[in-house]
Amino acid sequence: MAGKPGATVPELTVRAVLLGGLITLVFTAANVYLGLKVGLTFATSIPAAVISMAVLRWFASSSILENNIVQTVASAAGTLAAICFVLPGLVMIGWWQGFPYWTTAAITGLGGILGVLFSVPLRRALVTDSPLPYPEGVAAAEVLRVGENARDAEAEGDRGVAAIATGSGVSALFALLAAMKVTAPDAAGYFRVGAGVSGVNPGFQFSLLGIGHLVGISVGMAMALGTFIAWGLAVPLLSAMAPAAGGDLEAMAGDVWLHQVRFLGAGVIGIAAVWTLVIVIGPIVRGLASAMAASRARRGGEGGALPLHERDIPIGWVAAGTAAMLVPIALLLRTQLASLSGGDAALVVAGSLVFVLVAGAFIAAVCGYMAGLIGASNSPVSGIGILSAIGVSLLLVAVLGRSADPRPLVAYALIVTGVVFGVATISNDNLQDLKTGQLVHATPWRQQVALLFGVVFGAAVIPPVLDLLNQAYGFAGAPGAGPDALPAPQAALISTLAAGVLGGKMDWTMIGWGVVLGAGLILLDAALGRMKRLRLPPLAVGIAIYLPMSATLMVIVGSVAGWLYEKGAGRAKDPERYRRIGILAATGLIVGESLFGVLLAGIVVASGSASPLAVVGDGFRPVAVWGGAILFALIGWWLYRRSARLAQ
């Protein structure tokens, strides 16, 4: 049977790579938009696998391994879109006016290639010899198996495509209504809490509902805890400590959250990422030892004894490829230091390369472990970006000291962070894909090569998408940003941190309290694990503290809706199909709204109007808020009902 060890079936084919590249165009654009709008991205393995099954079934020679390569290419490029968590910071500080194509592609691609290489020796430690669940990797493998083995594989593929299409159509239609201003995208309200102030702001966006379904109830409840800490405790308490007499409630709450509470969340995320490294040090060391042992076996002529599904890219090639990547990275970084003398610039670049190598090893381990534990969508890439920006900023301070105008050094720090972030996103995705490959008996080295293709596709697509969204909307906090500017929350936070460190104006107080809070949350999560209760991942708590409520509240609702939906799987004829259809419909919700956002950006740029599709004025907003909320609830209910029927 195809997919069994030793079977000779098509795997790394030209058509698989090209199909993965075409899917990349869709999912990468969707992820870039989503990341800039709400600070979250989604894993693309499962929808890519479903689309691949639907297309490749028309070729008699296709196989489960070839479908696996398609989803590997597409998921690599889709996850690389998380670079939008860093690079918009260069526009926000006024260093870039747009996104120069080759520079943006180089930052993205070089980091992504390093991410593939750094994660190769971790496969045995964190995939083969690990009890980590890899939820998305296992789910993708199940989708591939169904497509290969089920008698009604054609019907199964049709169901999957129908689920994605329905979700996409629903979310795109509702986003169109919001663009027409017939419905409202959110409904913010602020109120007094004693001497302080707080607020509630649900975001009526189906992409958020879909994300909540995908992340699950554990992450959803952790985000609920984070939202309560931020808006139920921190904002009221801190605003009460420094009340503004007669101040606008929204302005008061926004100021406290933006300048204090978000840094509390950054501290939580940072300590959660460090704790993850502590957990995985042992498996990392064992995995490296295993990779070196395999390399020695090859040199000794024993390489042929390894089965195909245990063969990685040789560790010697990994080392050589890593060294080769450092050359263009060094050239890229040197061009950003034109104002420095040769000696200072050489020292900064050398230190930065060491930082990239050391931080890359750290990141590959942390993100790989977290992807295995809670899925690639929830891995701590945001926290990694924060830690990286602080680390490289401290390096610059140590070598060059602080500057009265820190902008050039902030820009340099963001570019280094961008390279490191590419490592984070790909190592985050790589091990999830390799878990899928392990379950379907794929060849690891072929998947690793496919990941390199995915990086190239992603690096080619991301710059024009970023530039289009910048021209259409701009980014909050950037010079000349309008009221419809995309929040780009992580990029704003990372650039603020770098500027604070380099300018000597960083207030570490709230970050320190966040570290203390994060330590407490780590202990709480561990205690819940020992009691076999619902876990509350500290990373998810931290994310909810520093993201705006409009980006978290509906994610929480979606996690509850998904949990209730999956409770019905026990009554279904095929429980696995029932769950899978729910996942695909949720994925469609994300893809449809995100792609509409990119399309709308093109219309905005072409028309020169911030609201080119609006058919009503601001006076209609009260109706848009209440009518939109009711319509949102009804459509969501209908979608879940339809998904349940489709799964029968």
Has residue 5 been placed in a domain?
Answer: no
pLDDT category at 407 given cuts 50, 70, 90 is: confident
Has residue 8 been placed in a domain?
Answer: no
Has residue 1 been placed in a domain?
Answer: no
Number of domains observed in the structure of the chain: 1
Angle between helix 14-38 and 64-80 (nearest 10) = 30
Has residue 605 been placed in a domain?
Answer: yes
Residues facing residue 190 across a β-bridge = 199
Q: Report pLDDT for 230.
A: 92
The single-letter DSSP state of residue 486 is: B
pLDDT category at 147 given cuts 50, 70, 90 is: low
Specify the range with the lowest mean pLDDT, choosing from 204-218, 317-331, 375-389.
375-389
Specify the range with the lowest mean pLDDT, choosing from 177-186, 215-224, 499-508, 519-528.
499-508
Q: Report pLDDT for 205.
A: 85
Has residue 3 been placed in a domain?
Answer: no
Has residue 323 been placed in a domain?
Answer: yes
- Give yes or no for a contact between 369 and 276, defined as CB atoms under 8 angstroms apart: yes
pLDDT category at 152 given cuts 50, 70, 90 is: very low
Specify the range with the lowest mean pLDDT, choosing from 83-92, 214-223, 256-265, 373-382.
373-382
Which residue from 159, 149, 258, 164 is spatially nearest to 214, judged by alpha carbons? 164
Name which residue leads in pLDDT, 558 or 595: 558
Q: Report pLDDT for 633.
A: 92
- Indicate the SS3 state at residue 203: strand
Q: Report pLDDT for 24.
A: 78
Specify the range with the lowest mean pLDDT, choosing from 21-30, 355-364, 370-379.
370-379
Has residue 4 been placed in a domain?
Answer: no
The predicted-structure confidence for 89-107, as pLDDT tens digits, reads as follows 888 888 888 899 999 999 9
Q: Is the pLDDT confidence value at 378 over 70?
A: no
The predicted-structure confidence for 453-476, as pLDDT tens digits, reads as follows 888 988 888 999 888 888 877 887
What is the Cα–Cα distance from 621 to 619, expressed in whole angstroms?
Answer: 6
DSSP labels for 617-641? -GGGHHHHHHHHHHHHHHHHHHHHH
Q: Report pLDDT for 225.
A: 94
Q: Report pLDDT for 306.
A: 56
Q: Report pLDDT for 231.
A: 92
Specify the range with the lowest mean pLDDT, choosing from 326-340, 380-394, 417-431.
380-394
- Indicate the SS3 state at residue 182: coil
pLDDT category at 557 given cuts 50, 70, 90 is: very high
3-state secondary structure 399-455: HHCCCCCCHHHHHHHHHHHHHHHHHHHHHHHHHHHHHHHHHCCCCHHHHHHHHHHHH
Has residue 9 been placed in a domain?
Answer: no
**What percent of the chain lies above the pLDDT cut of 70?**
81
The residue-averaged pLDDT of 476-481 equals 72
- Average pLDDT taken over every residue of the chain: 79
A 10 A CB-CB count for 479 gives 11
Record the pTM.
Answer: 0.73
The residue-averaged pLDDT of 197-221 equals 85
Name which residue leads in pLDDT, 378 or 206: 206
pLDDT category at 141 given cuts 50, 70, 90 is: confident
- Give yes or no for a contact between 49 and 71, defined as CB atoms under 8 angstroms apart: yes
Report the Cα–Cα distance between both ends of the chain, in Å, rounded.
28
What is the Cα–Cα distance from 370 to 387, expressed in whole angstroms?
Answer: 16
The residue-averaged pLDDT of 563-571 equals 84
Rounded to 5°, the CA angle 106-107-111 comes to 105
Domain that holds residue 87: 14-646
The residue-averaged pLDDT of 416-440 equals 82
pLDDT category at 7 given cuts 50, 70, 90 is: very low
Q: Is the pLDDT confidence value at 637 over 90?
A: yes
User: Measuring CA to CA, how many Å separate 171 from each of 23, 176, 468, 564, 597?
Assistant: 19, 9, 21, 20, 11
DSSP labels for 466-492? HHHHHHHT-BTTSTT--TT-B--HHHH
The residue-averaged pLDDT of 296-317 equals 64
What is the Cα–Cα distance from 257 to 252, expressed in whole angstroms?
Answer: 9
- Indicate the SS3 state at residue 524: helix
- Top mean-pLDDT range of 50-59, 133-142, 376-385: 50-59
A 10 A CB-CB count for 614 gives 14
The single-letter DSSP state of residue 232 is: I
Query: Phi-psi bin for 441: left (phi > 0), alpha (psi -120 to 50), beta?
Result: left
Which residue from 583, 538, 477, 607 is spatially nearest to 139, judged by alpha carbons? 583
pLDDT category at 364 given cuts 50, 70, 90 is: confident
